[in-house]
């Protein structure tokens, strides 16, 4: 069962704007899976936390596109130092992520539940 997410907050709308700008900048021709984690993901679950940046992981086959992912909005930008091998996510985090969008967007947004995160220690 999918948890209730806070998708209509000011922070959530800023994240969606960032994703729209990323999608436009990348000129995608095929679907790209992006997994939201960290403070922005936590905000979608608790509606309270205000992130300083956006931690997201892109499917490995698109890693060459990573420089295009640093398109900031007025308050948020993707953390360029956050990537799968340095994250605290378990190996099968993709299986536990909740898909956020439907429709025709090629940027397939997913949010990783905080319950799947591991300690950085």
Segment 77-117, tens digit of pLDDT: 777 666 555 567 777 888 888 888 755 678 888 898 887 76
0.85 cut: is pTM over it?
A: no
Is 8 domain-assigned? no
pLDDT of residue 44: 92
Is 101 domain-assigned? yes
Is 95 domain-assigned? yes
Q: Are 68 and 26 in contact (CB under 8 A)?
A: yes
More confident: 29 or 81? 29
Whole-angstrom Cα distance, residue 28 to residue 23?
7
pLDDT class for 1, splitting at 50, 70, 90? very low
Is 51 domain-assigned? yes
Summary mean pLDDT of the chain = 76
* Number of folded domains that form the chain: 1
In order of 52, 73, 119, 121, the CA distances from 108 in angstroms are 23, 19, 26, 30
Structural domain of 40: 17-116
Is 121 domain-assigned? no
Is 12 domain-assigned? no
More confident: 81 or 26? 26
Q: Are 93 and 112 in contact (CB under 8 A)?
A: yes
Is 4 domain-assigned? no
């Amino acid at each position: 069962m999918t948890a209730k997410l806070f998708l209509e907050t000011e922070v959530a709308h800023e994240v969606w704007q960032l994703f729209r700008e990323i999608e436009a900048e990348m000129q995608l021709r095929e679907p790209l899976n992006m997994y939201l984690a960290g403070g922005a993901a936590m905000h979608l679950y608790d509606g309270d936390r205000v992130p300083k940046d956006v931690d997201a992981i892109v499917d490995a086959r698109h890693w060459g596109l990573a420089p295009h992912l640093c398109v900031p909005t007025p308050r948020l930008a993707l953390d360029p130092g956050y990537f799968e091998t340095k994250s605290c996510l378990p190996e099968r985090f993709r299986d536990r992520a909740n898909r956020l969008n439907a429709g025709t967007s090629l940027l397939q947004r997913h949010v990783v539940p905080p319950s799947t995160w591991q300690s950085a220690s």
